[in-house]
A and B are shown apart, each in its own frame.
Chain A
Amino acid sequence: MSLLEVNDLAVHFGGVKAVDGMSFSVEPGEVFAIIGPNGAGKSTIFNLISRIYEPTRGTIRFDGKDLTAQKSHDIARLGIARTFQNIELFDHSTVLANLLMGQHTHRSTNFVQDILFLGKVRRAEREHRHRVEEVIEFLELEAYRNKMIAGLPYGVRKVVEIGRALALGPKLILLDEPASGLSVEETQDVAFWIEDMRRDMGLTVLMVEHDMSLVNQVSDRVLAVANGRPLAMGTPQEVQADPHVQAAYLGTPEEDAA
């Protein structure tokens, strides 16, 4: 059974059909990339899965559950973590605190216990820290542990956001343009991490990405979208060879003539 099934999904903002008739499914343990020109509706698909937008029609099923019946803050509990295209970190906190916030769904204490800081809270804090340290080690963030986000370079912030999503301990991770704004070396790191997430952590990865070298390197299947509709699906090579995809990116000869 597919982990994530999107069926005939659509969202209209007034007259704008941001996503229209989108269907695809992501298998467990797969790296699935969504590509497409700007404004194609890629991030909108993510925002529909995160329940930030209400779909006009269609269904999203994750692990057999209907996501459209869930509240946006319940999505994380089901095992879906995400990053944002424009980094959305907690700027006035340290890297460590940001990652600990990713542990929120694992909290076992209520606010009264927290205020009294009972022994249970301390034990839970050690647990949270232990899991977060695994993420820090994985992403090699040791040097930045106690640094404020506001003072960090862009590339590091990008990695911290991936770390925060991993700290949640998800089944499915949504990466919104993980390589945008990164250098060639940093992009290479991201490629290795995505490989490791799949192989060592057993994660399923759904990503939106423009960098075709990264897409080619890590993804099993690619979905090309344009104008909110699916264009082509298949291996990275198949999709890039598809004439519809080439037309969407480069324009068609007829259009040139006109």
Chain B
Amino acid sequence: MRYVFKTTYDRDIDLHQHGWSRAKVAVLAGLMIVLPFLVGEYYLAEATNTLIWALAGMGLMIAVGHTGQVSLGHAAFLAIGAYANSALMNVGVPFLISFPLAGLITGLFGAVIAIPAVRMSGIYLAIATLAVFVIVEEMVILLEPITGGVGGIMAPSIQFFGISFDRYGALENFYWLCLAIVILVTWGYANLMRSPTGRSFLAVRDSEVSARALGINVTRTKSLAFGLSTGVTGLAGALMGHYIGFYNYELFSIFISINLLLVVTIGGLGFIQGAFLGAILITAVPQVIAILRDGLNANFGINLGSIPGLDTMIFAAILILFIIFEPAGLYGRWLKIRTWFDIFPLARRDMFRRQKSYLKTERMK
């Protein structure tokens, strides 16, 4: 069992409560930094994809996990981020400026949409964001000079300080760029959640009426959360555009929105770590299925390739199992396992029963 002796309030304010947790994060960051030297091109590309999905997942987590606003439209904000970044770079704005600007544009767009939209909640907000998605998709097709219409566009090559960060020309550099952005955003997100702004998000999520009674402007708080959420998603969209290289509106389909919801739900609603675990799952499962499929075909002659929609079915099954058995997601499960070891042998079977409630975003409204 581990005890943390707190001698100042700063121990509670700090990101890490003890040195051990700080060391673990440092080791993980170190491993991620040296990853290009450890794995081949294929897996490095997959890792980059996972990082981009984790970034997008963090974006959606701010809205769904921490403020209780379900969005089915986040693929639209990925698209806005991607096209804004490309358009800015094509008129000669360097990546280091165009990238944050793309996030800012997407965030402002999201915040403006949120002002009327956040008056709705639950399924109504989900439908409203779906409508936003459809509108943005049509806009992307119509704004041909910027987006290339149905034909699509080529993401410009990233280059600054005389170094190339091109996805195909210099994958290691592109990976490090994505990693640096993800680390920065994670740090800012963690800071947000330990500050008054983050607490006001949680307050609005758990009880709007008492948030109001405590002096929290619910509409403004929700709009801010939605704006930050879409801003981070816009950043992920810009990176996704560069990662794919050549893309049109089909890259940002409704299935991306749904997959993003899977990332935050399976990962663990209300935990930043959940966005990462969910992103790992969502990017790894298709690969694992492909490897299994090839293996079964080569060794046993079983051809699963002929079954359409196998991936979708497996995703659906995973989601259903999580919602029934572990609404707190992968990270919630991990916390329970850790608690079991921390207080060994005092854990009781029904210790978490009272906490097994759904966040308001899902069932209890």
Which A residues contact B (CB, under 8 angstroms)? 50, 52, 71-77, 81-82, 84, 88-93, 96-97, 100-105, 107, 109-111, 114-117, 121-122, 124-126, 128-130, 133, 148, 150-151, 164, 168
Contact = CB atoms under 8 A, between A and B. Distances in A.
7 contacts: A75-B215, A97-B202, A111-B224, A115-B189, A117-B194, A122-B10, A151-B355
Contacts of B200: 101, 104
Contacts, number: 124
Contacts of A75: 213, 215
B110 to A, nearest CB: 14
B203 A96 contact: no
Interface in B219-278: 224, 228, 270
B354 interface: yes
A141 to B, nearest CB: 15
Interface stretch (B97-105, B204-212, B294-302): B204-212
Nearest to B354: A151
Contacts of A50: 212-213
B21 interface: no
A73 B206 CA distance: 16
A127 to B, nearest CB: 10
B9 A130 contact: yes
Given A126-B9, A151-B354, A111 B192 contact: yes
Nearest to B228: A111
A92 B202 contact: yes
Given A114-B198, A117-B191, A122-B13, A81 B213 contact: yes
B76 to A, nearest CB: 23
A168 B216 CA distance: 12
B207 A129 contact: no
Given A73-B216, A76-B213, A101-B200, A93 B206 contact: yes
A46 B206 CA distance: 21
Contact of B10 (A72, A84, A111, A126): A126
- Among A71, A90, A126, chain B packs the most CB atoms within 10 A around the CB of A90
A117 B191 CA distance: 6
B355 A101 contact: no
A73 B207 contact: no
Interface string B172-192: 000000000000000011011
A77 B13 CA distance: 25
Interface of B: 9-10, 12-13, 188-189, 191-192, 194-200, 202-203, 205-207, 209-218, 224, 228, 270, 354-355, 357, 359
Given A109-B195, A151-B354, A74 B202 contact: no
Contacts of B216: 73, 101, 104
A125 B195 contact: yes
B224 A73 contact: no
B215 A84 contact: no
Contact of A73 (B13, B188, B215): B215
Contact of B214 (A52, A101, A126): A101
What are the 5 tightest A-B residue pairs by CB atom distance, in nearest-first order?
A: A76-B215, A114-B195, A90-B206, A117-B191, A88-B210
Contacts of A130: 9
